[in-house]
Structure 1
Amino acid sequence: MSTPYAKLPGWVEYGLIPLVNLVVAFAVAGLVVLLVGESPLEAAYHMVNGAFGRGEYIGFTLYYATTFIFTGLAVAVAFHAGLFNIGGEGQAYVAGIGVALACLWLDRFMPWYVVFPVAILGASLFGAAWAFLPGWFQAKRGSHIVITTIMFNFIAASLMNYMLNRVLKPLGSMSLETRTFEAGGQLPRLDWLMSIFGLSVGTAPFNVTFLLALAASFGVWVLIWRTKLGYEMRTMGHSPSAARYAGIKEARIIVITMMISGALAGMMALNPIMGETYRMQLDFVQGAGFVGIAVALMGRSHPAGIIPAAILFGVLYQGGAEIAFEMPSISRDMIVIIQGLVILFAGALEHMFRPAITRAVLAFSGRGRTQAAVKGA
């Protein structure tokens, strides 16, 4: 095996390489800020302050991160089976219908802790159902999962438009949204968690869905690395021919993996619908499904990496809004460019610095082993 692709220690694979890519991405972003005549240091200050400056800002950062944890996990599960699920947007859209139906049905006579499990089930089932067909098409008909999931995103958007316009919209309303949920359909905010650190969540919609996201992260870790199904998924992802030789049913793994991925993407809908707006609106996903791809890439498809990667993108969203407010010459489009640079270096150019880092690590570890052998002699 050549040096650039040698197996690296976990702290290098999941820590050092993503950190180097991130530093380079922000360095290039600093050059972009310079080109518009602003100070990169001032922009960095406003971003960090806007994301962590006070409890309310942290609440917004973690609110965005909650959404990205779900979509990142959805993409990561598919990655492990060698599948590229780009349909998180559509799966979350359709899952929103499941969440809304649960709330509209139960919110007036049930407390939130009864409605929430039903909404989780609705989000998971609707998201899994929407991911089932692309998985089945690839498993049984040979259709490429990337093409079908992209197509299903557009179908889901049209379905959402129809459902809000013709079915779920209150009579006499002109807005494409459901009625506002009663108390049973509103998730409590995590004020108690922030108060432990002497902070106040303020108006931030930081809610109990964050705890569900952490539980889902642990569940994905157990699934992928501690179950037979996870072993079969990883085997097929590494070598489909070896999986077939071992008797693993490829079609079954594809369909099950896509349904699990769709269920995770669908649970993202709980955060904005029950945790922020308390109703379902037309564009509640807001690109989170595509951000999940970058989160999974940066987190190396491991929950321990996906959580900090999701928080990073939460910082970019919340801190980017602060930059746009404090530095008017840096528009919201410039923030999107910075996010794009992070995605570029964390994803498309992920292997740019790997060969040099690998050579340095191997040289250092080889020198360390030589010194240990000399001392032992």
Structure 2
Amino acid sequence: MSFRGDIGVSGQKTYRAIGLMSGTSMDGIDAALIDSDGDGEVRRRGFLSMPYPDDFRARLQSVMGDAGDVAGVAFELTERHAEAVSALLAAEGVASTEIDVIGFHGQTILHEPERRRTVQIGAPDVLARTTGRPVVFDLRLADVAAGGEGAPLVPVYHRALTRRLGSTVAVLNLGGVGNVTWIDGDASAGPEAMLAFDTGPANALVDDFVRARRGERFDAGGTLAAKGLVDEARLADLLSDPYFDRQPPKSLDRDHFARRAMGAVVGLSDEDGAALLTAFSAASVALAGRWFPHAVSQWIACGGGRHNATLMTMLAERLNAPIFPADDLGWNGDAVEAEAFAYLAIRSLQGKPLTFPGTTRAPVPLSGGTLHRPD
């Protein structure tokens, strides 16, 4: 099977790719379609989100930590991803034969880079056969095996999106876990001129809290947190976690702060608990800024957390530069991570680096991913 590889305006071959992302919030599948040369040329073509039903989300949560019926959940997860691919192609009027590659993240159920271990479940061979298209999977493994953090993976795509801004920026992804990419605005700087790391919690802790207290999936718009008061002493205790003093690059397991957070909200009302955990996410991001090589002109917020008005207000109060939703730049802030996995799959085909010393602590710029063909 050969790849299409048309010649784009950059003079490099371009590829049409689908990226699939199921993140630490475990709320569903994001699927995005892009055309790209794997470098600075990106054309965003389509996006959809397919929420998980509650029963499957519960099964997915049951295998966190790499326990339980991992194989069964992985197979069902893959079937749902195949459905997302079909739905995206139908929505965009694109034939499957036009797709050069699918970037399949799978679902992270364990992330322990200090033990050189990261586990993303999924059945890439099944997805390749079902869709009839090549699939790139296990995009984190090579980095972790080499001693890198294996996360975040999106920075090189953030750099492609921001290359024309002409200023030093921070791209902040507010998923279950928060992560940031600091990008040098010097036009002559290469892809190595980035610093990236997980900032701390974003949505995961408050999502889990409101689910346990109120049976709701998340604090929609931050309305519950907006009614509460932040206990500053409890917030200071949460921020005393040693993670925040570790020099980046660094990364987190989704549940790294779960036990500490569970203790912090004991005795608090629903409103005050949500306010505390939301403030913890905002303060974690603010602490991240101390590691930047020099100040940024703006923060660009992606991911579901940008819809939380209370979180965005708390961030604006704590950060040393303005913060804007990615949508203000013409991006789709919900689609960036899925688009990134399409972009990374293209770079994997090309043998280009996905991770760098400044983004994951990889010893050298590293490519990665395993290619699974349908035949």
Where is the helix percentage greater, Structure 1 or Structure 2? 1
- TM class, shorter-length: under 0.3
TM-score by length of 2: 0.25
Q: Which has the higher contact order (CA 8 A, sep 6+)?
A: 1
